[in-house]
Amino acid sequence: MLLSCKRGICLESLSISFIIPALNEAENIGNTIKSIQYFMIKTGLDYEIIVIDNGSQDATVEIVKNLGVQVSVHVGGTIGHLRNIGADKAKGKVLIFLDADVVLTEHWGHQIHFVNDMLCNREKLFDWFALCTTRKQ
């Protein structure tokens, strides 16, 4: 899918990889994945969800698979190690790391278009960065 950008800098659509480390998150992981799917379908952007499980003893892996999401089990790693495994598997240009109990909100759904616009229009990105940062004197 081609996105139109004001300066024509974007050549292809923004692709996003959501990386979620998990351990015994059966109570939460379904809502997290469903919120991602809901908002990403509305955006029309390419995305993938990657769950890296740390050896859950509950139904986490089964829930993830039933929602059509890829899951990889790696027992014994730190949360940082699990995120790195997910990053290595990711195909997206933008990586978003979420905890397994995070649910995206309507505000997030609106902001992803803002992020895409910033990535497509570098001058606008630099203006925004200048407004949001200060140099310590």
Which residue carries 């089964």 as its tokens?
62
Beta strands in 1-122 (DSSP E): 15-22, 46-53, 70-73, 94-97
**pLDDT digit string, tens, across residues 6-50:** 444 353 567 889 999 999 999 999 999 999 999 888 888 889 999
The CATH superfamily assigned to 15-132 is: Spore Coat Polysaccharide Biosynthesis Protein SpsA; Chain A (3.90.550.10)
Residue 3 CA to residue 110 CA, distance in Å, equals 16
Lowest mean pLDDT among 2-6, 68-72, 75-79: 2-6
Q: Which amino acid is at 93?
A: K
The tokens for 111 are 């902001």
Higher pLDDT, 130 or 5: 130
Q: Where are the domains of the chain?
A: 15-132
Residue 2 CA to residue 11 CA, distance in Å, equals 7
